[in-house]
Chain A
């Protein structure tokens, strides 16, 4: 189904926000400005946006250690996230979480997660909650989505979660983003099931889909089908998106595991944003100038977010003790 001009512009804007967010961070981290471990999502934007464009705040997602894209696509505040990554007490999590634990439960974003594979069981719990709450006036269930990579697909927690979702008939969707690397190990080595993740979900009794994760409209169209199926109460489903990671596992990763010229090739041939731009301008759905305007607007928005993060209030030693419990 062809998206409206407004929807296309918005999708592009969201993908571009993620790309610039990550590219800026890449530079800032290299300057030594940011503490801790950061895992960038650049390259996979079409998945986060193509999935989350279908969701409302009442639909839940659980993300991964590579979570910035999912957070931004689900509506987390750009400045709040940037401040969090800078460790400010004005950050989305008051500087307590940082890059790996960004969450905004009011937006249905139940957290990035530092433990690979830990998110899927949590997503199933949220899906069971959605099932208890029942269908809305249009006969649709709210859904809960577990984002996992080709690394998390090897964790027992992911298997337990898939089986439990099937057994409880919960409206859970397992979105597997296969970026071909679990940390520094190749997908072809680490995934034993004939280089195929979706077949694992299929083996648990789920209906599955597969699509090119660098093709925004393929992601978006696939997710429309998946969501129609799951919202109607048919139980859980799974999707595998083939995608690309433009940066290393973490910032500072020398990426010696990449083939010679690999990064140049995937940036030339598999860049979801570049492909989106080419597709929509060739089909005359949008003008290059429309997209250039968004590029400028987004770049300045991210730059401002970085500026605001730099000068945002720092947490104090007293803050350490706050928010462990509600009442103790």
Chain B
């Protein structure tokens, strides 16, 4: 079995726990000294770093939230001065404002190592050609996969997302053996390749797919369609980016790299830590991150942890695919979308005191997410003039795109046509269940 870092990856759990304790104590002390938000929360609980002597004290620590990133936007939660920060990434916040995370040089190489461990586990070596079709930019996907593949010495094709015809041509011409992208895009590529009858020209053997929910059925279809093994990867910018947890060759859950991160499963309502194996909200503490460390960060992803030994020999705990969210966040085409962001755009564009009634409809057609926003027309913005209504519609589409980073279809609908239950409109209709 190939390992990237055998000592770390197969460390006995007792030793792993000692290492975590040591790192936790240091990280807590560091955050207390450098991060105002964390210090305040500790003070409120009457805690000092001295109260945290190891992993056993983890549940005493205060939680941190996505909201904190907005409150301390942009750099207020950084634990290193900007001169030590070599890169920032950003993702959706719960409002129009994005959230920003930072990385030191060490953070970047730790991230690359996390990703590289996975690539090694699934048999990728320096002889492979890795096509990275995640978006490059503020989104962590592209750069994360890129660094991981470079770390193992593979040849990287930094394709970024989009332009399917060129993606396929490149894959064939450059002899890509590994593909990294979102699972829905992998499905789409598989179909296009099938349609063009190009499957036998592919050299692909494996794919690393993440950033959105996908099912075992979808895995089977991607594996069949592209003639590869498809592996799942998990991550979020606030904790690192893709690579926080990765599948190994066993394809039986994603190993959380516990020398760098401590996962916990809590009851999202009470905050209580749940017993081993239970399903609840996933919480992360980053032990080695320098620029943007998190202590007990509430991911809002619902899943469970499996501490049983894995066939691959790695001792690190495995997380199951998240089965849902404990908040109203949607993942549409790999992008995080909060209904509140849409509300904010409507409020600004329609220029009223009250948000017009709206409804988000998400579905999956031909393995692609469709994203429709129905907005109830109201007396105040109806005119007899097609041009001015068109202008309103276009403005909504543009603002939604610039705020969310993905395109939505906007439909102006009759007033009171959006179904209300007990006076409250149902904001989100997600018809993707069973289709992914």
Chain A complexes with chain B: no
Q: Which residues of B contact A (CB under 8 A)?
A: none
